[in-house]
Structure formats: C-alpha cells, structure tokens
Structure 1
C-alpha cells in the first residue's frame, strides 16, 4: 500500500458538486486519493474533524509592487499574507513596480523575484499601455496569465492609461494571441473632469470624492469596452466592478454570447460609503465604496451568482500615502489593503446569506482557474490536481489585529473586523505553509504557474 506524504482525515471537503465528509491522500504534491476511510500510512496525518477543506484560493488581482517599490509590498510579505488567508495562487498585476511589466525583460525580472521570495504559487499579468503593442506577443509567449489596462487615469507614469486607439489595437492583438484583457473600467474623461471641478471649488471631502467617480463613469467605460470587444473579438475580464448597472450591461453582453467575465471585491460587499466618511483615507479606493443601497444590490447579485469570481485587489502603500489626517482626500493613495481576507469575507457572506460553500469554491478557486488556463491542475479538489487547500474552522472566529495581519503595512479597512470563521491551515502543493497563525516553512516554496502548463520549477532568466 503506497505511503502518502500527507493524509487529511475526516474533513468536510468542498467538492465541485457539494460538501462531503471524506479523506484526502497527497503524494508528491498531488491529490492521489479522495475517499472515506483511507488507511495508507502517511508522513503527516491531519485530523480535520469538524473542519472544512476548501480548494486553495486563486486571487487573480493583487498588487505586489516589487521590483522598485518593495517598501509598499513585496513577494515576501505579500505571499505570506496570502497564505495566511488560505490563498495558494495569486496573480500579480503589472503596475506599481518599477519597471512595470510591459515587456519580456520586466516580466523575467519580476518572475525571478517571485521564484526567490514567494511562499505560495503565483502568476503574472502583462500590461497594455501606450507604446508597447509590439511587446504583447513576446509577453504572451513568455507566459503571462493575461493583460491589464486602465481606462481611467492611473496616477502612475510607469503605467499609463490607454487611449481609445491604443485600446483597439491592443485588443485586436490580444484576441489573436488568445489571451484575456482585464480592464479597470472608469471613464477618464468623466472622472478627471469632475475631479477638476471639485478641486477648483475646494471640495475635497469623502462625499466629494464619491461624486467624482459616479456609477455612470463605470457604466460608460464598461459599455465602451464591450463595443470594442465586439469589433475586435477580444476576451474581457472586468475587474472590481462596483455597481449593479455595470453588471446589467455585462450580463446583456454575456447573453449575446460574448466572452466576458467579471469580478468584484470583498470590500464592496462588506463595506459602503459611510465607512469612507468614518475612516477616511484608509477606506479610499477606485471605484469608491458605494452607498449602502448599492452595496445591498451587489450582495443580491452575488447571491444570484452574477459575479464570476471574488478577488481582493490588494493595493497597499506606505502609511504616509494613507495619512488619515490629510485634508484633501484626493491626495491620498486610492487602494484597499486586504488580500488576507478575501476567502474569509466570502465565507462570511455565504454563512449570512445561506450560499452553498461550493459557490464559494467556484468564485474563489475553480472559475479563476478555468478562466485563465490553470484548470488542468489548479482550482478544484479532484484526484490528479495540485494539493492546494485552505482548512477552515467555523467553530472559531478571526478578529483582525496588527499582530495577525501579515501585510507589510498594517493599516487596513478590515482592522478590528471579526469574521465568523478562521483559516486554520494552508497547504500548497502538499506543503503545509500556514498553521495555527504562523508561517511554518523556513523558506519560500512557491513557483510561477503559467496558463495550460505545469508549474515552472526552474526558469531560465
């Protein structure tokens, strides 16, 4: 009888078609057995009695700002934070680092750092920016998970928003490459014009900020991207959608057969505009937290399965860029730090609204894997897949403190929030990475994963 590396016993396993109490056998980083009463010997036996075993989260939207801005967040602290949140694969966005990931050299530089420092697996986005259309094919051939572009002003000179002509050319090329384009969809014309109007009048409060990024700015950008997709045939992924009206436009496009997916973020589902008014800069993001009435609409859309996936949009910065005493809210960095809490947040919403846990697994693992070409080995608890798990207790709660938040910078909208569940352990490729509040491996063991390919163990850089 084959000796296993790891045996998970008696867990409530979240399988694609429901939760089943069973055992899981792991060998050489793979799931080799899923059945009740596995009797094989194992180097490590984990009794998961009363615990839920979810597929490890795949977070398709994080910002680790390395190289160049590791003091914002880097692979070392960022990947530990993801592991503490039950995430076993994350996709790092191409901006905020210096250089941005807009050509192969920058991609390989980032990949090398990830291979050296990441505690869990990762994939890398490439960027679409003015002037890099000729780099798209080489980025695709080198293994980017997809491409990212902005329709609103970025505030980042290393990664500028696309104009319409660049967008059309880029979408045509990305379609030919068989890749997906992820879009930050807010109208630059609308948001910039409204911001200038407010600042000229000296109106810089939380209410003023919300009014400069209205729902109509999101809807206009979404509609324009859909029109361009119809012309070019480019597959789209809309990131951090924050309004029901934008989802309505996306749903109608899907019903016409268009290849479009959409994510939202936990902060739009758990928080609303009053939190920005109360907490100030720490709750500033783009698109902004919406009014409570809109938040309720988003939760209803989640319950009705209108979002394809949940992603964190972890977007940290040093404390001075989030100074809570800043008078002008427009001057503060616009991003939510919270990558550790996406799976916890989704489980909280599932408990509150009686959503089946297999939907949680779909939004946080299986659908991201399917959309981005990793489903041969990631995203589901099935025999032959990578042994990636988040082990969760519903008998314990988790209150966010500076001590248990693994991000480089501890200021977060989630500080003090109590989740009705707790990440007990995280296993990536059969390796126990996080256990009982601690990172338990001595050195990083994560690797770069690419679409439709196995994990790259040793890349030539």
Structure 2
C-alpha cells in the first residue's frame, strides 16, 4: 500500500515533458508520485501549494558551477553559491573541480570537498572530477568515489592547482574514461592561436575590450574542438564542449554528431545576452574566457540552440573578490576571467527567449532536462514526471525587474548583469518538496550530496 501523500503542487501552467498545461503534482517522500488533472481532489488532507497562473517549472540543473570551496571561500563557498542557486530556481548543481584547494583531481580531494559541502548546501549538489597532467591513475578511484564525470582545460586554467592538458595527457586519460563510460567536459581553447595573438596584442590598450577580444581568437576554440572530436573518434570517449562562444566550431560539431560520435555542447547565458559591441572599455566585470564575441555570433548561437545544434545552457558561475576583477584599473589582461550569474540564468534566458518567440518548454529543456542527462541524473532530475524528485519552481514570467547586484545572494556583489532589466522572477523554489527559497525567507540548508551510484 502506498504511503499517504505528503504534498500537492498545482498550477494552471505547469511545464511538463509533453507541453504546458494545468496539472496537479502529487508528492510522496519528496518524490513525484503522479501527475494528475488540475481539478483532481487527491490531497487527502495533504498541504497544497497552488501556483495559480504562475508557471510551475522543474527545478533547473546547472552543471557548470564554481563554488571554490574548500580553500577559496573568500571567492564564493557552498553556502552562498547554493543560496543564490535556490533564489534563481536552480535545484541541482554539479560543481567544478578547480578553484578549490585541493583541486578535485583525486578521490581524497573529492572526500575533502564533500566534507566542505555537507550541512551547508541548500540545493542538491554533485561534483565533477578533474583531468590534469599525470593523474590518469586517479580517474577510476574518483569515479568510484562518486564523481559524475571529468573536466579538463586545454589552456592554463588561471589557478596553479589545476594545470591544463595537452594531447598526450588526453591520450592517457580518454581510454580510461571511455571504459568507465564517463563524460569528459572540455574547456575548448588551445594555446597556439592565443600565443600567436599575444605578440600582436602586447602593444594594445589593455583597457580596450577590443584588445582582449583580439587576444583570444575564435581559432583557439575551433582548433580545440577539432582535436577533441578527433580523439573522441579514436577512443569513443563521451565528450562535452563547455561554454561554446563561437559559431565557427558549429560545423565541426554538426559533422561529428552526424557521424554518430558521442559529442555534446553547451553555451552560457552571457554569450546569449551580451555582445562585444555593447561592452565598454575598462568594463572588466564582462571578462570571461572564451570572450563574449560580437552581435552576429550571439545571434548565431541562438540559431544553433533553436536548431538543437547546441544541447544545453549552463551558467559557468565563476565569481571572485571584487579586487580580482580590477574594475578600478579596467585592465582586461590582468582581471580575473569569470562571470557571476548563478541566480540570474533563468530570467536572463527567459528574457531573450521570449524576445525571439521561444517558449518556456525549450528553456526548460536547455537548462533542466539536457543538463540532467549530461550528468547522469535524468532518472531523478530535469522534468516533472513520476519517479523524479519534487524539484519545483514557481515562476512569474511577466514580472519585469532591474538587477541590483547588492541584492543577489552570491558572496560578492559583482556581476555584469547589474542594472539590466529582465523578465521573469522566481517566487519560490522547492528541493525534494521542501522549500529552499522564497523572497524574504531563509530556509535552513537542506540539499543532498549527490554521488554517482549512491544517490
């Protein structure tokens, strides 16, 4: 006999796998038991959350988050990162292996990271391991310890603890990952075109955004994508290209997928919202790598999303203390490259999607269902369906508001979105049926650690 219902969520606009319609979501023990008609009287006295005419969405899954703990909690930390996630409708994050000390390149380092996260997280949290020179023997133990996959850089990462890899390192790691069935997430820029551009850029004004843009040419991305596709073809390793910022690599990716290679790709809200023509000189809050390119590239990325040539959208939330952004000096070459945006991805994406006539069901696919598949979490996350966790977001799609950086929940009030007017506001977030966010409230941390094979 089934246990009694613990909760009922209902709304007139529920984003389900088969479309948007009125529905009631019946929840037992934090898991969706069934999806019924809106009018169904199945509560049996269980508490009811009625979203009314607001959208009721599956919680977002953000597979590209730098929480920077342990070791660099002055940059962010699990408490502030997951508070921001919940406020942005993100109910699951998968945290990146770099910027913490130690970097997550061994099973012991993963255990230290788990210890740092326990009791501090407001959303469910998993972890990527890292591929660095010489750690091929650590990959299997990391996988067995619960990592969901592995991340590598093909250029310097910006921190000494996480070195970039070359083709020889990938040739040592990729057969291991192929045997495990683990995905390899790749920061797809190679040094050659960047090093060649450095000589040309040495005499340029470091405050000019055009100088920074010139220093990281699209060829760095396309050559990296070409290399990882070639190695994917040789070893059969699942490859995921993170934060694609150029349309020039899309044809390579299309051909690889047409060939049947296991290659996926993401882009980020900042590449889909901003464009180089609108970034002022000295505005280092906009610095990231790869860089935000021109308006034509932005529109090309949107076309690729609409055509399903890009699989998903993730934040690449990579904050730092204000002094590291160097906004007073405005030197793009010295400033830390990272965008703080974890709380803002959903309204930013909805603003841009609605402007282009794209419905919320596509946004949910890009930011919830597809990331859950990437991370191996689709059996529990990414959709409002029986058997999935009751990770739900009440979202007002018509609310217009201006971003106040000081009101955001990540640790430092630094973001290029400050002052931007966006559409859509999170009214409440629930993780496994428990409220993780509501304006003016501060629920206790209740997120779960997600370990592969133990979730």
TM range, smaller chain: over 0.9
Cα distance, 1:383 vs. partner? 1.1
Structure 2 residue aligned with 1:351: 354
Q: What's the offset of the Cα at 1:193?
A: 3.2
Deviations 1:118-168 (A, max 9, x none): 111011000000111110000011111110000112221100100210111
**For 1:11-410, what aligned pairs fall within 5 Å after superposition?**
11-36=12-37, 37-39=39-41, 40-199=43-202, 201-204=203-206, 205-278=208-281, 280-410=283-413
Matched residues in 2 for 1:150 and 1:334: separation?
14
| Structure 1 residues 26-84: Cα deviation after superposition (integer angstroms, max 9, x where no partner) | 22101113112232134432221111111100000011100000000000000000000
Aligned to 1:440: 442
Residues 313-361 of structure 1 show CA distances to partners (whole Å, capped at 9, x for unaligned) of 0000000001212253200000111011112222222211122322111
More divergent stretch after superposition (89-98 vs 165-174): 165-174
Distance 1:175 1:72 in 2: 34
Contact 2:11 2:56 in 1 (8 A): no
Pair 1:422-2:425 in alignment: yes
Distance (Å, rounded) in 2 between the aligned partners of 1:54 and 1:33: 15
SS in 2 for 1:340: coil
Given that 1:16 and 1:361 are in contact with CA atoms closer than 8 Å, whether structure 2 keeps it comes out as no
Distance 1:403 1:333, change over 3 A: closer
Counterpart Cα distance in 1 of 2:278 and 2:116: 36
Distance in 2 separating the partners of 1:301 and 1:138: 37
Q: Which residue of structure 2 lines up, in the alignment, with residue 449 of structure 1?
A: 450
Distance 1:279 1:415 in 2: 16
Count of matched residue pairs: 451
Instruction: Name stretches of at least 5 consecutive residues in structure 2 with no aligned partner.
Output: none
Question: Shift of the alpha carbon at 1:98?
Answer: 0.6
User: Following TM superposition, by how much is the alpha carbon of 1:368 offset from its aligned partner in structure 2, in angstroms?
Assistant: 1.5
Is contact 2:66–2:98 with CA below 8 Å preserved after alignment?
Answer: yes
Q: Is the 8 A contact 2:284 2:326 kept in 1?
A: yes
Q: Which residue of 1 aligns with 2:415?
A: 412
CA shift, 1:111, in A, is: 1.0
Residues 273 and 292 in structure 1, CA contact (< 8 A), matched pair in contact too: yes
Question: Residues of 2 paired with 1:250 and 1:104: CA distance?
Answer: 32
For residues 56 and 104 of structure 1, what CA distance do their matches in structure 2 show? 29
User: Are 1:2 and 1:41, in contact at CA under 8 Å, matched by a contact in 2?
Assistant: no
Identify unmatched segments of 5+ residues in structure 1.
Answer: 456-461
- Once the two structures are TM-superposed, the CA of residue 6 in structure 1 deviates from its matched residue by 2.1
Q: Secondary structure at the match of 1:286?
A: coil
Q: What secondary structure, in the 3-state scheme, does the structure 1 residue paired with 2:210 have?
A: helix
Query: Does the 8 A contact of 1:432 with 1:440 survive in 2?
Result: no
- Say if 1:276 and 1:284, in contact at 8 Å, map to a contact too: no
Q: Tell me the distance in 2 between the aligned counterparts of 1:10 and 1:94.
A: 38
Structure 1 contact 54–389 (Cα < 8 Å) conserved = yes
SS at match of 1:117: coil
**How many Å apart are 1:2 and its aligned residue?**
6.6
Deviation at 1:3, TM superposition (A): 4.5
Contact 1:5 1:27 in 2 (8 A): yes
Partner secondary structure for residue 409 of structure 2: coil
Shift of 1:454: 5.3
Counterparts of 1:439 and 1:143 in 2: how far apart (Å)? 33
Deviations 1:69-124 (A, max 9, x none): 00000000000000000000001000000100000111011012222211110110
SS of equivalent to 2:283: helix
After superposition, the Cα gap between the structure-2 partners of 1:280 and 1:418, relative to the gap in structure 1 and judged at 3 Å, is: same
Give, in whole Å, the separation in 2 of the partners of 1:388 and 1:19: 17
Structure 2 residue matching 1:397: 3-state secondary structure: strand
Shift of the 332–416 alpha-carbon distance from structure 1 to 2, 3 Å rule, reads same
TM-superposed CA distance for 1:202, in Å, is 4.8
CA distance in 1 between partners of 2:102 and 2:347 (Å)? 33
